[in-house]
Structure 1
Amino acid sequence: MPVLKHILILGTLILGTGELTLAQTFSSQRADFKLEEVASGLSNPWSLAFLPDGSMLVTERAGRLRIIRNGELDPIPIEGTPELVASAEGGLLDLLLHPDFADNQTLFLSYAHQNSEGMTTRVVRSRFVDGHLQDTEVIFEALPRYSSSNHFAGRLVMDAQGFIYVSVGDRLERDQAQDTADDAGGVHRITQDGEPAPGNPGLGNNAINDTLFTWGHRNPQGMTVHPSSGEVWTHEHGPQGGDELNILHGGTNYGWPEISYGIADSGELITPYTHRKGMAQPLYYWNPSIAPSGMAFYTGTLFPGWRGDLFIGALKMRRLVRLRILNGVVIEAEDLLTDLGQRIRDVRMGPEGSLWILTDSKKGMVYRLAPTYE
């Protein structure tokens, strides 16, 4: 377990992110690091993205998109965010920049939306021009809608082909995760215009919705692309126990709720099965539940001992989890930042080679994990 070593007074954070007041220094199995406070006062921040000019965009679940410039959180939210519903787990969720953002200013946002038919997960494509969003267009909407304000999922990633993966939770209608004519409980693969991606398993098959890539998911709130293989990795919340880490393969059923390593919140058994024919096993699972959220592979050079490791935020267990994986097997697991005592919502690789995290509270924070020698 990491140990809090001491408190240091810092000067200026690199990349022009401003003056910092405190940094906690930690010792872990493979690296020492300091935790630098970059910004505070965010309301339940959900996602973080780095702009080419060194500033950062952060989504707040209440519906605001914020910008951090030179280490200062702009008090005025960015105009032009889509109409949404902020209820329970719903609100403004993930943020994905187009790989050619510097040229086309295009980004994608996921969020919860409500109308007379209920709530759902939506994705818009927009352009960030002159400090506000414009040309916003809905490119994905999970159907049917449900009354629940939970299990929206909403993570977004883009693969090397430029296809976008959208995670959608089971909306607390768990049996619908096995219904391939229902968008709930699935990961969808679409083009940047919102069309079904070529090669999707449902194309030419009326029994499977044409945007579905995988199904049998409960609430996959973490998703990232493996830096070497290009495969999409995801994790999902189990019920009481049974949080899962998976590698996505098109047309695969990941089992929820027919198989699970968890039980219902009431303590009742959801299913007697952890294995069934035709359903994928997780690469790794947690009992008890840690409530995993954002995740990222470490690909930088500032921490050579972490290179290639997977970092996962935990909400319920309030920690950052480091996994070392070899040939599809977790060979090392370490809990970091347990002394911080905060729900970690997102984890991102920074362009300068450090790790960045968001904490989930009404006074949410942006932190940077930096080398101790800076």
Structure 2
Amino acid sequence: MSTTPSRLHLFQAFGIELEYMIVDRDSLEIRSIADKLLYDHPRAEEGERNNGSITWSNELVSHVIELKLTKPEFNLNAAAHALADNVVLINQELSQWGCQLMPGAAHPWMSPAKETRLWPYDHAAVYQLYDKIFGCSGHGWSNLQSTHLNLPFYDDEEFARLHAAIRVLLPILPALCASSPVLDGSPTGKMDTRMHYYKTNQSAIPSITGKIIPEAIYSRRQYGHQVYDRIREDLAAFDPDKILDPVWVNSRGAIPRFDRGSIEIRVMDIQECPAADVAIVQLVIETLRALVGEELASHEQQMSARTEILSGILDDCTVNGMGTEILSSEYLALFGIREFATAGEIWATIVDQLKKRNHELLDQWKPELDVLLREGNLASRILRVAGQSPEELKKVYARLCGCLQQNKMFIP
């Protein structure tokens, strides 16, 4: 494990978190036994297991396990191998209960109302209050798994540049990452159903999520005044004991943590294997590096991107994925595109531009990125072979479990 300073500058190192479902090996039904990995083991401590470079943990529901880098890392190739090795190790341990991990951002036939089991251990009081306010026995809480990317910033100047770049990139991330096209046993009509629920699951307190696209805010003081103070005020009626922290509750698509100097991106559906996730993460990092460095558009252009336009594109990409038609000349200009383009064409243009500008860290992920650009996002690949029957759907997700175990991409 590399040693990293307590506060990092832009692009010095990164944090990654991957969330997976625990399911029965035969039926693929969810199994709420994460505590057997995180509490009933001699190496577990306070609901986590430190396994060297990777830590296992849980949030909210008992059928989900989270793998995260123990410390920020720069070498994502090594991180991808470590994540894949830990998937194999977890599957080995789960086999004694006839279970395994399943990838994908949503279980295709889980019934949240019947099957949800909230995590009863650490943070249980927080989860119980969430359940009281929002009702956590629905798809928007108990049936969504994602990939989180944490990027560092050192001060307000670096925050402003990174936040502006992230706002620009967020709208088209669901087009690339969508992996949740099926719920309740049937296609939903949306490539990224997880994001649809993510946007609406806290509607009782709208200030918590905003428009998912963060406001055009570029300083810590301004963010505290416009976002955290508003959330704190709106929470008061629901949380008289002040259990919930506005910083922790904030659920925009990118969340600054000024205390530790990082922004967490949360709009990415999890993929079929760590190699696919880390390939996407590396592409996101290199695109943000190019935006921050003003290789694609000026900082002023990025800062002035209008939230309503970005939010509309995000909503369209959530439904239509790579095929989303983007007509906003204001948005297209940020990537040097002058005419109409689909989200898939924008991503192809970005990859081409990054290659021309010698972003060599992408080279090692060429096979995975080629699959994404050629075959489409995981949601579209799932739909291509999902069929019309429960049996056919089960076969597809059994294959996805195999892809996760073998760290290979799903190609229909």
- Per the TM superposition, whether the score is higher than 0.5 is no
Q: Which has the higher helix share?
A: 2
Q: Return the structure number with greater relative CO, CA threshold 8 A, min gap 6.
A: 2
Q: Which has the higher strand share?
A: 1
TM-score, normalised via structure 2 length: 0.29
